[in-house]
Structure 1
Amino acid sequence: MSNRELSHIIQSNLWYTPVIYVFISFLLVGAALTADYQYELGKNMITIYAVDYSLTQAIVGTLTAATLTLTTFTFNLVLVVFTTFSGQFSPRMLKNFIASKATQRVLGIFTASFFYMLLCYLFLNKDLAQYYFAVPVLATIIAALSIGTFVFFIHHAVNWLQVNQMTYDMKKEALSIVKSTLEDEMDPYKVKDISTIKGPISESKEFTITARKSGYIQLVDYITMVNEAQKDGIVIRLEYTIGSYVFESTPILSYWKKNAKEIDELKYLSLFSIKRRQSEVQDIEFSINKLVEVAIRSIGNYDPKTATNAIYQIGEVLASISRKSNFSNYLIDENNNLRVILQERDFNHYLYHGFGYIRHYAKENVIVATEILKVLALMAKSLNPRDYKAIWEFGVFTASGFENLFLFKLDHQQFHHALSNLAVSTKHEKEYEEFLKQRKKIGLNTNSTKPE
């Protein structure tokens, strides 16, 4: 298991942080009991600060039940709300909320508070001490901390449940995956000009390595794969990419070797992480798909504002992909020799997965389609110029077929104004004029804004 995968599992595991807090509560219990039993703090305190055994037992016993009730009530309420909310937008939202640091810390404080009260209540002994100080004082402080945490958690949940905050967090997650996967991990090994590669694909026999189990490809260790391929003197071609589902015995990669050296195939299989479900550790498309689901469900729930917000967040992620990746499917080693051939992924691929499904479900919604064109025009201002053609063609395909759905003149003007801005940003003014002429030929009204 790689460090990135281990880090993701720990972060998304609901028990990791609470276990740490529970361990801290054990230390506090030991310190409090040692102070009261061994050093007799309660007996040595002045009368106003000393708490007798019966009052200490009542305080700790009451707080034990209260803390457990508070914890159960809080998370039961939140899970009910999130079940409804995730059904309305995306079922993957609940995992994001549970994996947030604030949620895990709140659960850790509640759990640690309960264990502190429970253990102190268990070890209270009238024969060992008549008066207590550390145990009841710490119990009171921890109870006050739990109440404060409860207020903070309600505030955190309310803020997180706001659609703008939710989509913003999803966008941040997607941008971090773009940076770690494309920019930091793969781009240093990608080659822009294939003619500079020293080692072309060999004409020798092609060997294949098959998967040993079925599931989604969650993670591929590209760096280690390049290094190992360099040591073995082979060229590898990946038959599938991150997020693909493979069956058992499906050829997962092919390789060519120039010598008769035996290749340890299990070594290369270990560089793939295949699990039962998709993960956002390295899968850019999966992280974008969360925002796509929010947009599509918002359209179905007649919530155009939420759909528009999700569309703009997707646009920012796609613009980042355009700027930070050269979309080469060749990875080379330090000697400029070809080592790994990836599945081809260009900007068109990510653009389709980002807006293609939304465009399909918004095919009768002119307002949402207009927002897609506006986002495309906004994206074009920060895209790599090589992707201008792709985004313009996508905009034209989106614009086609909406003429008969305009109910008002303003719908028509806004729609064509957005397409006009896209033409200007992508330097396709002539193509825009041709588009208008074609619409006139088929008898459609095109009193639209011309590119400025």
Structure 2
Amino acid sequence: MFRLNLLDNYLKKYTRMSERELSHTVQSNMWFTPVLYVIFSILLVVVTLTTDLKYDLGNQMRLFFAVDYELTRNLVGTLTAATLTLTTFTFNLILVVFTTFSGQFSPRMLKNFIASKSTQRVLGIFTSSFIYMLLSFLFLNKRMAEYYFAVPFVAAIIAAFAMGTFIFFINHAVAWLQVNQMTYDMKNEALSIVKNTLEDEVDPYKVNDLTTVNSDICDKSGYTITAKKSGFIQLVDFISIMKEAKRDDIVIRLEYTIGSYVYATTPFLSYWKKGDNQIDEQKYLSLIKIGRRQTEVQDIEFSINKLVEVAIRSLGNNDPKTATNSIYQLGEVLTSISRCSVFSKYLVDNENNLRVVLQERDFSHYLYNGFGYIRHYAKDNVLVCTEILKVLDLMAKSLNKRDYNAVWEFGVLTASGLENHFLFALDYQQFHRALQNLSVTTKHEKEYEEFLLKSKHP
């Protein structure tokens, strides 16, 4: 009874997930794809054994291909042990990759390797190959068939395919360990989250002209909804919250953002009613998922932090090229946020009535969370700081013009305090040339001249 209840709760956990959350959970687990391959291998065992035992295909093929019971048993038995050894070695190789990633880059990236379709398919092929060999070996029957054809033939093909898959996996692991490929994959993941979370879910409801929104109700004292458990805010169903807020005719404010940690009994939702109707607070609690860890489904900053950690670890390991590569990939993510996002905290319904108020996030927030930590750990490294200025200039050429001030101010703060770290005249020239280019792109030439005067005459 206990096992049935446990299975029932486990199934309910997945049936309650949204489509995006379910997709992310399936991709980040190692068992789902191998289970599908194992099911296919079981069906293949049934087909091959039925073909040999019921239709006596081996006896009909004796003129061209004759494998008796003993040879089939020896072949399948040997391949069973071989595929198990190959599978074990593959798992050891995965553990080595995990250890390397954790030590040199970031433990947060392990899920990226697990979520790789190539990794999951390789594990599925090896596991299903072993299951096929094992079940075929178990159900071989000398009394029912003296000669076999389908079982040994398919077993030989599967063994050859597994060997080819192993070679492919070695190449896949080596390619995935390359820094350029690794940071490129993380950048694409972040860009996907920006598109799905900001562009598709939130931005369609944001209002550009704040004068058209009546937000006076938020100045009054409202009701609060407290969290029922501690953890990270993982998912917010913005679309459903908008629909329910319109149906209840309320304005609801999220006191924390996705990725924030809240304690049990923390007031993390506030709402204001326009009438005397009763509000089902539990309904809104169910639309916000709190878990024990951060996830990449909607958390843009968490995905950005992966690239930040790679850059910081690289600086600590005296690997400036890897840090530079991460900085450029991070710059592309921030550029996408600037170009595609509407930085407004007000969400309105189709009748232009205010329904949801978010925590305010502008481009400066994402810029600081992206480059702020890297700048801190690279504060004594003029070359890396110069690269940051170059990336800021490259970003500014594609940014929304409203974010020019934020980029320029960040560049000036990066430049401040580095006068005593120029070892050579070329360091000074390259650094100030990058800052000058940034000032030209962001239309702050006058401020650049003022900065030069202050740096020369403190």
Give 1:77 shift.
2.0
Q: Which residue of 1 aligns with 2:272?
A: 256
1:57 to 43, 68, 73: 73
1:176 to 189, 192, 196: 192
Asked whether the 8 Å contact 2:224–2:271 carries over to 1, the reply is yes
Structure 1 residue 408 corresponds to structure 2 residue 417: no
Inter-partner Cα distance in structure 2 for 1:291 and 1:202: 37
Query: Match of 1:122, as an amino acid?
Result: L
Query: How many pairs were matched up?
Result: 442
Structure 1 residue 341 corresponds to structure 2 residue 357: yes
C-alpha distance 276-97 of structure 1, shift in aligned 2 (>3 A)? same
Q: Which residue of 2 aligns with 1:296?
A: 312
CA distances 1:59-105 after superposition (whole Å, capped 9, x unpaired): 10000010010011022023123312321111112111011111001
Asked whether the 8 Å contact 1:322–1:384 carries over to 2, the reply is yes
Give 1:7 shift.
1.1
Inter-partner Cα distance in structure 1 for 2:140 and 2:71: 11
CA distances 1:15-50 after superposition (whole Å, capped 9, x unpaired): 110000000001100000000000000011133412
Structure 1 residue 102 corresponds to structure 2 residue 118: yes
Q: Which residue of 2 aligns with 1:363?
A: 379
Q: Which residue of 1 aligns with 2:409?
A: 393
**TM-score, with structure 2 as normaliser:** 0.95
Inter-partner Cα distance in structure 2 for 1:133 and 1:415: 73
2:332 to 316, 320, 334: 316
Inter-partner Cα distance in structure 1 for 2:412 and 2:221: 45
1:137 to 128, 135, 153: 153
2:37 to 15, 18, 21: 21
Inter-partner Cα distance in structure 1 for 2:27 and 2:104: 25
Q: Which residue of 1 aligns with 2:242?
A: 226
Q: Which residue of 1 aligns with 2:54?
A: 38
Q: Which residue of 2 aligns with 1:287?
A: 303
- Give 3-state SS (helix, strand or coil) of 2:107's partner: coil
CA distances 1:297-356 after superposition (whole Å, capped 9, x unpaired): 000000000000000000000000000011100000011000000000000000000000
Inter-partner Cα distance in structure 2 for 1:411 and 1:138: 65
Inter-partner Cα distance in structure 2 for 1:85 and 1:202: 47
2:107 to 91, 96, 110: 91
Asked whether the 8 Å contact 1:210–1:252 carries over to 2, the reply is yes
Q: Which residue of 2 aligns with 1:3?
A: 19
- Give 3-state SS (helix, strand or coil) of 1:201's partner: helix
Q: Which residue of 2 aligns with 1:417?
A: 433
Q: Which residue of 2 aligns with 1:354?
A: 370
- Give 3-state SS (helix, strand or coil) of 2:253's partner: strand
Query: Segments of 4+ in structure 1 off by > 6 A?
Result: none
Inter-partner Cα distance in structure 2 for 1:93 and 1:205: 44
Give 1:258 shift.
1.1
Q: Which residue of 2 aligns with 1:449?
A: none
Asked whether the 8 Å contact 1:381–1:425 carries over to 2, the reply is yes
CA distances 1:208-260 after superposition (whole Å, capped 9, x unpaired): 00111100001100011011000000000100010000000101100000111
Query: Match of 1:262, as an amino acid?
Result: Q
Inter-partner Cα distance in structure 1 for 2:216 and 2:345: 14
Inter-partner Cα distance in structure 2 for 1:236 and 1:440: 52
- Give 3-state SS (helix, strand or coil) of 1:47's partner: coil
Inter-partner Cα distance in structure 2 for 1:426 and 1:64: 66
Query: Match of 2:433, as an amino acid?
Result: H
2:168 to 152, 155, 172: 152
Q: Which residue of 2 aligns with 1:192?
A: 208
Range with greater deviation from structure 2 (257-266 or 286-295): 257-266
Range with greater deviation from structure 2 (115-124 or 86-95): 86-95
Give 1:153 shift.
0.6
Range with greater deviation from structure 2 (66-75 or 198-207): 198-207
Give 1:197 shift.
1.9
2:449 to 433, 444, 448: 433
Inter-partner Cα distance in structure 1 for 2:176 and 2:280: 48
Give 1:4 shift.
1.1
Inter-partner Cα distance in structure 1 for 2:20 and 2:286: 15
Asked whether the 8 Å contact 2:331–2:392 carries over to 1, the reply is yes
Query: Match of 2:400, as an amino acid?
Result: N
Inter-partner Cα distance in structure 2 for 1:203 and 1:406: 52
Asked whether the 8 Å contact 2:97–2:173 carries over to 1, the reply is no
- Give 3-state SS (helix, strand or coil) of 2:271's partner: strand
Query: Match of 1:166, as an amino acid?
Result: M
Asked whether the 8 Å contact 1:181–1:282 carries over to 2, the reply is yes
- Give 3-state SS (helix, strand or coil) of 1:261's partner: coil
Inter-partner Cα distance in structure 2 for 1:129 and 1:334: 71
- Give 3-state SS (helix, strand or coil) of 2:297's partner: coil
Query: Match of 1:171, as an amino acid?
Result: K
- Give 3-state SS (helix, strand or coil) of 2:234's partner: strand
Inter-partner Cα distance in structure 1 for 2:215 and 2:340: 26
Asked whether the 8 Å contact 1:199–1:337 carries over to 2, the reply is no
**TM-score, with structure 1 as normaliser:** 0.96
Asked whether the 8 Å contact 1:200–1:338 carries over to 2, the reply is no
Inter-partner Cα distance in structure 1 for 2:199 and 2:426: 42
Give 1:195 shift.
1.0
Inter-partner Cα distance in structure 2 for 1:81 and 1:35: 42
Any unmatched runs of 5+ in structure 1? 443-452
RMSD: 1.0
- Give 3-state SS (helix, strand or coil) of 1:353's partner: helix
Structure 1 residue 306 corresponds to structure 2 residue 299: no
C-alpha distance 403-70 of structure 1, shift in aligned 2 (>3 A)? same
Give 1:402 shift.
0.6
Query: Match of 2:172, as an amino acid?
Result: H
Structure 1 residue 328 corresponds to structure 2 residue 354: no
Give 1:203 shift.
6.1
Inter-partner Cα distance in structure 1 for 2:336 and 2:288: 26
Structure 1 residue 266 corresponds to structure 2 residue 286: no
1:372 to 388, 395, 406: 388
- Give 3-state SS (helix, strand or coil) of 2:217's partner: coil
- Give 3-state SS (helix, strand or coil) of 2:389's partner: helix
